[in-house]
Structure 1
């Protein structure tokens, strides 16, 4: 009698789907909880929002040079800039043949933009109001569009860099992305155009969009994202000419065993 292992095998695609499903579900649950607290005017959250915004507004009115720098940073990292970056990235991916990946980027951009305004109109939260504002912004407050757009853009960029980078590069990319997202979110509170909970809501909404779009693309085009990532790696990998004769590559004596080319070129194993 032969026994076979009938336990299911978890493939990399399955793990990919599980990670992004968990991201979307967890962010959706946290967003729903936060939105409920915002809508019901939960006192501890309201005190925190008003306390931080009031103290930062006093600081902003007393330090005009710093406030001007924060305003410039907020404008540079605005929704138009972030969506332009994603649009250019999608165009480049399309030109090099990574069509599914390009559509994934476009879907993140468009669904993020549409979702942002759908949520804003649904909750219709008022922005902070001051007799002496240091900045102005239109539309409802919750969730923050700047926070949502910056989180989606930075996550997409890090996701594309991740397979090509070593550990140090990944740490650097994640650190820059995190500082950018945190800085843009904080700038909206310092300028008095958003409550802190608006910014948190924007980050959670971004997680919903990132996870949901990725899962949908994987279900419609199984494995296409991974294939396009490999295509991007191949198209952008530096091509180094082989050195045929060098002190470390001497001619092989007659009868000597052949060398494994993958030992000197480990990247070949990944192709």
Structure 2
């Protein structure tokens, strides 16, 4: 059946309106049911919550995974993502969608706490608590924040995605939001109705702000597009990367092969160095004695103020900080250079370093220094090499290399200084805290230098893009 173009637009607009109205009706029905303590709803909430608590409480690995997923919908993560997206849009000179992102994000910061206070619903009480959360329960802030955050990303960047890929992208975003909501119930910090209310409120708020944005476009003399095409379809070309030639399959396979072979050789070097300090060298050797002596000297000379500072500074090499900086730099590089190859370089450097660190740590299996440790409980990885130092050296070394070749002169020296100073500072904090030997740090620097050189040589992130092939527009 062929539907005229204007009728198709009317159908899509009507469907969007019905979705928003349905979300509003559902939210207010839930709100009334919670306020008046509708017994079937209360019973369903308790049954689902108790069943999930019984299922996950005894599985520590599953609880840890749920905590990792639930963090993706937290206010801290959502705020960070939307701030980075706003910066990207401003760099790409798209002020209108940037304002939309800011206004929509600010709304969630007001809606969630205000409604929690007004409703005043207490959080669930389960038999075996595996998580805790402050404040009231209705609606779920994680469900609301994740719906709005990832919904905004979808609306803003949908025009950059080819039509054939859009259903898969929408399904992926929806699955992520549903999974985050599930974790809140499974961890026992929200009722099912809290989560559903958060989803509905998020859809309602997205709809309201999208309608306001479309009205803003109309007032500016632009015909508002169907929302199924994204927030601003005309911005798709500006938000995409600059046209680059697609790598031929043999070149791609060659690059992957070179990285794989080089990675195996680097792993062999690390494995050999680890065996040298753990098995070959005797206890009385100069290297082993120096390792033990440095660890003991650091432990004896700790002072409370310096210990507190070191515990803060060592987070620079932690997973959360590294991932945060990596994502931020990737977004800024893509916004400024409009090329994917430097972004690929950064991702491969950090991802490959992680694999090399985990593999070498597992096979060497060196114990931590036999001194009191300063700081929180240590992860289950072994001492050689230091993951904090390797990650810091790789990330900031990669940034410095890109800055030296692509950035203006005034940014080169600060990037180089960060690449030198930060790994040294993090290395000191790891030695000072008694969690690594000196040779662990040296092994990390060896890993970082070899892997950085290999990635630079294989990926060639600053090579000029070929112009012989131009990708088709995203909407084709």
Short-chain TM bin: 0.7 to 0.9
Q: Which string of whole-angstrom CA distances, capped at 9 and with x for unpartnered residues, describes residues 57-109 of structure 1? A: 12222212211221122124322101210111011111211111101111111
Larger Rg: 2
- In the other structure, the counterpart of 2:173 is 177
- In the other structure, the counterpart of 2:100 is 104
- In the other structure, the counterpart of 1:231 is 235
How far apart, in 1, do the equivalents of 2:82 and 2:15 lie? 23
Change (3 A) 1:224 1:139: farther
Tell me the TM-score normalized by structure 1.
0.78
2:184 to 183, 188, 197: 188
- In the other structure, the counterpart of 1:158 is 154
**Contact 1:31–1:204 (8 Å) recurs in 2:** yes
| 1:116 corresponds to 2:112 | yes
| 1:218 corresponds to 2:214 | yes
Change (3 A) 1:119 1:130: same
Between 164-173 and 16-25, the greater mean CA deviation after superposition: 16-25
| Structure 2 runs not aligned, ≥5 long | 1-5, 226-230, 246-469
2:132 to 115, 129, 136: 136
| Structure 1 runs not aligned, ≥5 long | 1-8, 242-264
Q: Please show how residues 31-180 of structure 1 align to structure 2 within 5 Å.
A: 31-130=27-126, 132-180=128-176
| 1:28 corresponds to 2:24 | yes
SS in 1 for 2:57: helix
How far apart, in 1, do the equivalents of 2:194 and 2:84 lie? 28
Tell me the TM-score normalized by structure 2.
0.46
Change (3 A) 1:237 1:229: farther
How far apart, in 1, do the equivalents of 2:76 and 2:243 lie? 35
Across the aligned residues of Structure 1 and Structure 2, the Cα RMSD in angstroms comes to 2.9
How far apart, in 2, do the equivalents of 1:105 and 1:202 lie? 19
How far apart, in 2, do the equivalents of 1:218 and 1:39 lie? 35
Q: Which string of whole-angstrom CA distances, capped at 9 and with x for unpartnered residues, describes residues 141-176 of structure 1? A: 111010111111221222233223234421221222
**Contact 1:17–1:218 (8 Å) recurs in 2:** no
Q: Which string of whole-angstrom CA distances, capped at 9 and with x for unpartnered residues, describes residues 216-238 of structure 1? A: 22223423876954234234254
Higher relative contact order (CA closer than 8 Å, sequence separation 6+): 1
How far apart, in 2, do the equivalents of 1:142 and 1:166 lie? 38
1:206 to 196, 202, 207: 202
**Contact 1:141–1:198 (8 Å) recurs in 2:** yes
**Aligned residues, how many?**
239
SS in 1 for 2:125: coil
How far apart, in 1, do the equivalents of 2:49 and 2:177 lie? 19
How far apart, in 2, do the equivalents of 1:64 and 1:90 lie? 37
How far apart, in 2, do the equivalents of 1:225 and 1:124 lie? 40
Between 115-124 and 163-172, the greater mean CA deviation after superposition: 163-172
Between 132-141 and 232-241, the greater mean CA deviation after superposition: 232-241
How far apart, in 1, do the equivalents of 2:14 and 2:134 lie? 38
Change (3 A) 1:182 1:266: closer
Task: Give 1:118 deviation, angstroms.
Answer: 1.6
Q: Which string of whole-angstrom CA distances, capped at 9 and with x for unpartnered residues, describes residues 21-65 of structure 1? A: 443322111111111111111121111100010111122222122
SS in 1 for 2:131: coil
| 1:197 corresponds to 2:193 | yes
**Contact 2:67–2:183 (8 Å) recurs in 1:** yes
